[in-house]
Each structure stands twice: as C-alpha cells, then as structure tokens.
Amino acid sequence: MTGKSKQQVFTLLVQVGRSPEDGLPAKASGAALMCYASGVDEAEAVRETVAILKKADLAPLDVTGYGTLDERLALGHEINDEDRELMDRALSENAVIVASSEAFFD
C-alpha cells in the first residue's frame, strides 16, 4: 500500500436553492437531492458534491452527511439493491450520483 487513503462512498442530502438555469420546476423554491459521493473522507465527498452541483447551475445551501454504507447499516438503515448499485457506481467511477431529487414548493 502506498499510504493513500481508500475511497469510500458517502450518502449526502443536499438542499439547493434557486438559480436562473437550475432546471427545477418553475414554482419550486428549491429541492433536496440525495447523493452518493466518493471521497477519502466525508469532507472531500461534500466538497466534490458541492462543486459538481454548482457546475450544474444548482445553488447548494446545506449538506447533511449520513455516512458510509457500513455506518448506515450499523445504524439500522435499510439500503435497497438499487441504492447499493448506485453506491457501487459512485465508487467505481469516482463520481457523484444524484439518486433522487424532490422539489420544494412554498
């Protein structure tokens, strides 16, 4: 081993506000995005996720981390096969995957 930390996948809930070209529904005030992001630690996963979302013309406001797959399982979270596949994809592609989004309406 070269001393390099191993990539892991973190589950992040990102709240976004509005920006002119964000692609959210016209009357939405923002959205919540469930993301799976790879990183050597959660801080790196958050930085990469925020950077990617900004490039996609979204306006990240807040990020809540829910930990790695193992951490979530230890907390009793049920993770379905589809989500596990998305987590595997995030890890293999060293990517940020938006697993779901829900627009907010006031």
Per-residue pLDDT tens, the chain, 106 aa: give them: 445 568 999 999 999 999 999 999 999 999 999 999 999 999 999 999 999 999 999 999 999 999 999 999 999 999 999 999 999 999 999 999 999 999 999 8
As a whole number of angstroms, the longest Cα–Cα distance in the chain is: 52
* CA–CA gap between residue 41 and residue 10 (Å, rounded): 8
Contact 68, 39 (CB under 8 A): no
In this prediction, residue 1 carries a pLDDT of 42
Helix (H) or strand (E) holding 67: strand 59-68
Nearest Cα neighbor of 92 from 24, 12, 8, 22 is 8
State residue 106's pLDDT score: 84
What pTM was computed for the model?
Answer: 0.91
Angle at 20 between CA 64 and CA 49, to 5 degrees: 30
Report pLDDT for 42. 96
Domain boundary assignment for the chain? 8-104
